Amino acid sequence: MTIKPLIILPDPLLRQVSTPVEQVDSQIIQLADDMLETMYDAPGIGLAAIQIGVARRMLVIDVSREDEENKPIVFINPEIVKTSDELSTYEEGCLSIPDYYAEVERPAALTVNYVDRTGKQQTLEADGLLATCLQHEIDHLNGVLFIDHISRLKRDMVIKKFTKIAKAKA
Ligand code: ZN
């Protein structure tokens, strides 16, 4: 397992739409392991493959509490098939937009179909933090960031700030 460098805003890779995984082979399992290692190191509760520069429809999530054992879940080709009418609001952050947090409203519960790391088709019903995290990460697979769900004014400010930081580092 390897910790990979994170792709940071405003890198255009974050706007790329990821392509489906055709087969769960050793390369894909290795990628999942690297993603988990990178997520735990950050630390974060979710990571999409594009955040380490790989445009495949894959994400990893672990919303277990600090005092619990790790409960990693690997989602390959995840697809939301149902969302609740009820909404919930969480303060979200993103490993690709470090140290910025904002409240985002999303469906409170959902059903997702996906392929697990053994190549098996699965269905999961999620609510609470897991439901929010899944929607945030699946957005990444479509080139969408959580700042796209906040006001335009706030979003422009964040992008401006990160563009400045990137320029200073270049
Ligand atoms: Zn994110």
Give the pLDDT confidence score for residue 43 in this predicted structure: 95
H/E segment holding residue 30: helix 26-41
Residue of 68, 92, 103, 137 marked catalytic: 137
Q: What is the pTM of this model?
A: 0.97
- Taking the centre of ligand 1 as the mean of its atom positions, its distance from the CA of residue 155, in whole angstroms, is 14
Give the pLDDT confidence score for residue 80 in this predicted structure: 98
Q: Are the CB atoms for 97 and 162 separated by under 8 Å?
A: yes
Q: What is the DSSP letter of 150?
A: S
Convert the pLDDT of each residue in 96-113 to its tens digit: 999 999 999 999 999 999
Mean pLDDT of 31-42: 97
Centroid of chain to Cα 7 = 12
Convert the pLDDT of each residue in 134-159 to its tens digit: 999 999 999 999 999 999 999 999 99
Q: Is 162 helix (H, G, I), strand (E, B) or coil?
A: helix
Full DSSP string of 136-149: HHHHHHTT--GGGG
- Taking the centre of ligand 1 as the mean of its atom positions, its distance from the CA of residue 78, in whole angstroms, is 16
Between vectors from CA 147 to CA 145 and to CA 149, what angle results, nearest 5°?
95
- Look up 69 and say whether it is catalytic: no
